[in-house]
Amino acid sequence: MLGQHEEAQKLYRAGLTYKADDINILTNFGLSLSFSGKHDEGIKILRKLVESPHATAHHRQNLALALGLAGRKKEAAGISRMDLDDRSVRANLTYYSTLRALSDPAQRVQAVHARHQQR
């Protein structure tokens, strides 16, 4: 959440050497990759989590966010609809477009953090 993705990714990789299936490390790692522009790598990790029997709506919406950051709106909408109504899906797609327009990865993270603080 500090926007220090390269350092965070090193730590996530190190953590995964000890607990390769830790759902929290994997979630944060996937999001960090996505926020730093490594969309395909982040999406791959988050998609694998969503396929897990332990996946929750939170994990699915993280995948939708990563897909939205990658500009893959149709896929993001499909994942979002698993848990959200149409109005919420449309609002999220607009939000993802706003995030994509921010050129600084740290600004994207700050915007996500601020939105979650409002909830």
Write down the pLDDT at residue 116: 64
39 closest CA partner among 96, 110, 116: 96
Write down the pLDDT at residue 113: 66
Q: How many angstroms separate the CA atoms of 50 and 107, rounded?
A: 26
Q: pLDDT tens per residue, the chain (119 residues)?
A: 555 667 777 888 888 888 888 888 899 899 989 988 899 999 999 999 999 888 899 999 999 999 999 999 999 999 999 999 999 999 999 999 988 888 776 777 677 766 766 65
Write down the pLDDT at residue 93: 95
What is the total count of domains within the chain?
1
Q: How many angstroms separate the CA atoms of 1 and 32, rounded?
A: 8
CATH code of 43's domain: 1.25.40.10
First to last CA, the chain: 17
Write down the pLDDT at residue 118: 61
Write down the pLDDT at residue 1: 53
Q: What is the pTM of this model?
A: 0.85
Domain residues for 83? 5-118
